[in-house]
Amino acid sequence: MARRKSRSQKFSGRFRKKRTCRFCEDPKLVIDYKNVELLKKYMSERGKIVARRISGNCSKHQRMVARAIKRARYLALVPYTVDIYRSPGTSDRRPR
């Protein structure tokens, strides 16, 4: 019978460096709803707000980024969603 690998053997080569918050490192970097280029870095291609574990922000700055994105959406600086291009002849309905 084959021996099972222990937990430490399974994950030994997969250690990743923890991302640090950009806003904590550089205090001059300000989160503002008018800075659309900065906010787009924290949005997916569909227009969703990127999760904290992916963006690498601390919880304080992630809340501030989310609030700024929501304000920018309300003022139409950033779209709520992005329309996906559909080829002609396709419909939104599911086949029966």
Give tens-digit pLDDT for 6-62.
Answer: 666 666 666 667 778 999 999 999 999 999 999 999 999 999 999 999 999 999 999
Find the mean pLDDT for residues 60-72.
Answer: 97
Judge whether 38 and 78 are in contact, CB under 8 Å: no
Q: Taking the domain 18-74, which CATH number applies?
A: 4.10.640.10
The pTM score is 0.69
Per domain, the residue ranges of the chain are 18-74
Q: Which helix (H) or strand (E) holds 30?
A: none
